């Protein structure tokens, strides 16, 4: 259970978010929380619930990216007996969360036709179980999260505008760690103290050199990434100050990557892979795009989120392109 006091920040905009969220707590309105991975969306969602007037009722979280398109409706609205062969009757998450809160995460991964159905449920406050006809009234407070920007989900038609405007009246924008580097020492301090307390150790801080690197770094994984690194570093640290040698190797992998953008722009590089051979411009562009995708994926060790960052492209868009190019067997 997370409360607002557990959200660590001294950043003005994040403090404003906390103030806004405190006001939203007891309002029975949907709230949309958006921001990059690891910026605290789940912490805000939980605090909204556990500090609001529904705190003694269930808080249920469901990530849209983890739920197959085919079962979304049975999971959400439930199933009536005999709906399909082998169907097991049961309530969906809307009914289970009745009087409480349903946190619908990564709403930007939900296909459009299901977004339309979700919007109808939100507006009518009723669900009809799959295979059933009887509407069940539900009293559920909804919180949504997405790891994309409003501009992008609208411009690229990822979220239907009718649903988006229904959700976004009360919204909270999480600030990436690279735009609030003044918070870095707070998280470092927090992790070190926690480690010292739990392990009876006396680590005092971080070397100036490492601090400098941390201020330089762009933190694609935001607070989660920072906390992981510091906890890892504490475990191996043998002196009073954590130095760069205590950091995990992947900190340096990412750190070095930032200097390196994908470089496929030499003529030899491309022509060795493409060759003009009477192909149309469109066909060539398709091959070129595939080359870029393959090279980037390889550099990112198959990690799609990382590849998306390298190409400065939303993960969702990259995934879509990978799928189109038949390269979507590597996932993350």
Ligand X SMILES: Nc1ncnc2c1ncn2[C@@H]1O[C@H](COP(=O)(O)OP(=O)(O)OP(=O)(O)O)[C@@H](O)[C@H]1O
User: 101: which 2 tokens?
Assistant: 């809160």
Q: Which of residues 118-157 bind ligand X (CB under 6 A)?
A: 147
Q: Does 40 bind ligand X (CB under 6 A)?
A: yes
CA angle in degrees (0–180, nearest 5) for 58-74-76: 35
Provide, rounded to whole angstroms, the least separation between the CB of residue 56 and ligand X. 23
Q: Which of residues 244-303 bind ligand X (CB under 6 A)?
A: none
Mark the segment that binds Mg ion (CB under 5 A) among 15-23, 41-49, 76-84, 268-276.
41-49
Q: Does 100 bind ligand X (CB under 6 A)?
A: no
Mark the segment that binds ligand X (CB under 6 A) among 34-42, 115-123, 241-249, 256-264.
34-42
Q: Which residue is nearest to Mg ion (CB)?
A: 42
Size of the site for Mg ion (CB under 5 A): 2
d(CA 121, CA 103): 15
Tokens 């806004």, residue located:
20
Binding-site member from 57, 136, 224, 273 for ligand X (CB under 6 A): 224
Provide, rounded to whole angstroms, the least separation between the CB of residue 194 and ligand X. 10
Do residues 127 and 78 lie in contact, with contact meaning Cβ atoms separated by under 8 Å?
yes
The SS3 assignment for 101 reads strand
* Other beta carbons within 10 Å of 96: 15
Binding-site member from 42, 183, 246, 290 for Mg ion (CB under 5 A): 42
**Cα–Cα nearest to 300, from 309, 289, 312:** 309
Mark the segment that binds ligand X (CB under 6 A) among 31-39, 196-204, 248-256, 269-277.
31-39
Q: What is the DSSP letter of 40?
A: S
- DSSP characters over 227-238: HHHHHHHHHH--
d(CA 218, CA 254): 9
- Please give the residue ranges that form the binding site for Mg ion (CB under 5 A): 41-42
- Please give the residue ranges that form the binding site for ligand X (CB under 6 A): 7-9, 35, 37-43, 147, 223-224, 227
């Amino acid at each position: 259970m997370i409360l607002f006091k557990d959200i660590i920040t001294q950043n003005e905009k994040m403090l404003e978010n906390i103030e806004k969220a405190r006001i939203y707590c007891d309002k029975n309105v949907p709230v949309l929380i958006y921001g990059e991975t690891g910026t605290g969306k789940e912490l805000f969602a939980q605090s909204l619930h556990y500090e609001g007037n529904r705190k003694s009722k269930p808080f249920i979280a469901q990530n849209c990216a983890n739920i197959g398109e085919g079962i979304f409706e049975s999971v959400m609205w439930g199933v009536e007996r005999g709906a399909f062969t082998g169907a097991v009757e049961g309530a969906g998450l809307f009914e289970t969360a009745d009087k409480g809160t349903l946190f619908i995460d990564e709403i930007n991964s939900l296909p459009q036709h299901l977004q339309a159905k979700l919007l109808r449920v939100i507006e009518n406050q009723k669900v009809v179980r799959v295979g059933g006809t009887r509407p069940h009234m539900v009293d559920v407070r909804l919180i949504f999260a997405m790891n994309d920007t409003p501009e992008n989900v609208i411009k690229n038609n990822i979220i239907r505008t009718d649903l988006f405007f229904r959700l976004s009246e009360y919204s909270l924008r999480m600030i990436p760690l690279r735009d609030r580097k003044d918070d870095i020492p707070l998280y470092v301090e927090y992790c070190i103290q926690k480690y010292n307390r739990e392990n009876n150790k006396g680590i005092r801080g971080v070397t100036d050199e490492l601090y400098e690197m941390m201020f330089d770094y762009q933190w694609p994984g935001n607070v989660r990434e920072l906390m992981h690194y510091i906890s890892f570093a504490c475990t191996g640290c043998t002196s009073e100050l954590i130095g760069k040698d205590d950091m995990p190797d992947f900190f340096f992998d990412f750190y070095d990557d930032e200097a390196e953008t994908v470089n496929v722009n030499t003529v030899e590089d491309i022509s060795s892979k493409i060759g003009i051979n009477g192909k149309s411009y469109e066909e060539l562009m398709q091959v070129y795009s595939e080359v870029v995708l393959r090279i980037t994926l390889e550099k990112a060790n198959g990690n799609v989120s990382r590849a998306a960052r390298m190409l400065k492209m939303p993960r969702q868009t990259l995934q879509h392109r990978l799928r189109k190019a038949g390269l979507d067997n590597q996932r993350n």
